[in-house]
Homo-oligomer: A and B are copies of this chain.
Amino acid sequence: MDLNFIQRLIRPAETKIVLLVLDGVGGLPTEPGGLTELEAAHTPNLDDLAARGICGLQQPVGPGITPGSGPGHLALFGYDPIRYQIGRGVLSALGIDFDLKADDVAARGNFCTLDDDGRVADRRAGRIPTEKNEELCALLRKIALPGVEVFVETVKEYRLLLVLRGKGLSGELADTDPQQVGEGPLEPEPLSAEAERTAGLVKEFVGQAWQVLADHHPANMILLRGFSKLPDWPSFEQVFGLRPAAIAAYPMYRGVAKLVGMDVLATGATVDEEMEALEAHWEDYDYFFLHVKPIDSAGEDGDFGRKVRLIEEVDTVVPRLMALEPSVLLVTGDHSTPSLLKYHSWHPVPVILWSRQCRTDDVDRFGERACIDGGLGPRIPAADLMPLALANAMRLEKFGA
């Protein structure tokens, strides 16, 4: 639904909403006909919640679309992830907790190998180790550009982040990454008149970078893509009238939460520590986004058994969460990560919405097949969950007299 439409219906209330994201929770059986990770897990508390709540499967972006973490979470926050797209440079910055400012331009970078003719021989510079990356970033940081501040940050292995800080910069630049070997790096072409100065600065930067890196084969050049600035979106609090807080141990998720204006609470990395942060701040906010990462990591590692155990671990904290007496609790994932595929996937994600007035269905098990029969249906758009949560929290006015 359109955010303006929702915003006009918001009314104040004293209720609290919790979104518990089990990152990558949806899965697949290892063998046809078998159980998924979630179905194999012993989850008495989530099953009880499913029985008392309304269930379904949610589709983060669209049919067949495998979501990245950014779109997967934006959808759960109620923002249509196709309309509200985050630039790749900005996503890179969020992923390493870089404190991006409103006027900054960020780009995702690769160290690469150029051959003697100046053509790309390896887009990833032989996947240099992170330590080498840090050493080279220190060199690149010495490059000075007129009128702007330059930040060069290590992401991991061959990946880096470039940020230019100054007035009047634009993210409307074409990539310098040709995306294939055998071609030279491209010019950072401006895609609008306002971007001409920024294009000149980036051109100057990559020119100097080539000189700085010349003797550092295989990492003798950089390629840049996804030039972008922080988006100018309506904040979560503006739209939904909720004071929101994020509890997440990983930078990317804190970053996406910050993007919509959530306060980010300090937390340790375990589920117990995240629960402590939730309890400590329970009175201070109306909405809590609680992010549990390791389930996804187990899926990416192809470790079915570990994914099962991690789901079971989260199950044990559900009573502790319910003891806080939230008005509405949503439990779901930002996408599926089947250990069979070792990667994010397009499969819809099981969801439970619980409130005192949610109108329950006959589902009494939190699992992929069980949730097909739920009252939310087998393909509810993830972004529709936010207005439903607001309604269940008695925070939406009637539409039309």
Taking a contact as CB atoms under 8 Å apart, the answer to whether A71 and B400 are in contact is yes
Cβ of A186 to closest chain B Cβ, rounded Å = 18
User: What's the least CB distance linking A205 to chain B, in Å?
Assistant: 22
**In the complex the two chains form, is A61's CB within 8 Å of B362's CB?**
no
Known contacts A1-B63, A347-B359; is-contact A379 B377 (Cβ 8 Å):
yes
Q: Would you give the 0/1 interface string for A338-351, flagging 1 where the beta carbon is closer than 8 Å to chain B?
A: 10110111111000
Looking at chain A's contact residues, the main secondary structure is loop
| Complex Cα–Cα for A401 and B334 (A) | 13
Q: Are B399 and A67 in contact (CB under 8 A)?
A: yes
Contact across chains for B369 and A362 when beta carbons are under 8 A apart: yes
Binary per-residue interface labels of chain A (137-171) against chain B in the complex, 1 for a CB within 8 Å, 0 otherwise: 00000000000000000000000000000000000
CB-defined contacts of A357 to chain B, threshold 8 Å: 28, 338, 340-341, 345
Give the contacting residue for A63; candidates B64, B70, B384; CB below 8 A. B384
Residue A61 contacts which of B36, B64, B399 (CB distance < 8 angstroms)?
Answer: B399
Nearest B residue (CB) for A68: B400
Chain B residues contacting A375 (CB-CB under 8 Å) are: 57, 348, 369, 372, 378
Copy number of this protein in the oligomer? 2
Please determine whether B346 and A388 come into contact, CB atoms closer than 8 angstroms. Answer: yes
Contact yes or no, A64 B388, CB < 8 A: yes
A85 proximity list for chain B (CB < 8 A): 400
For residue A62, give the distance in angstroms from its CB to the closest CB of chain B.
5
Residues of A within 8 A of B (CB): 1, 5, 9, 28, 32-33, 36, 52, 56-57, 61-72, 81-82, 85-86, 88, 91-92, 95, 338, 340-341, 343-348, 356-357, 359-362, 368-369, 372-380, 384-392, 396-401
Q: List 29 A-B contacts (CB under 8 A).
A: A1-B63, A33-B360, A62-B384, A63-B380, A63-B387, A63-B388, A64-B387, A64-B392, A64-B396, A65-B387, A68-B400, A69-B400, A71-B400, A85-B400, A86-B400, A91-B400, A91-B401, A344-B398, A345-B391, A346-B391, A361-B372, A362-B369, A372-B373, A372-B374, A372-B375, A374-B378, A377-B377, A377-B379, A379-B380
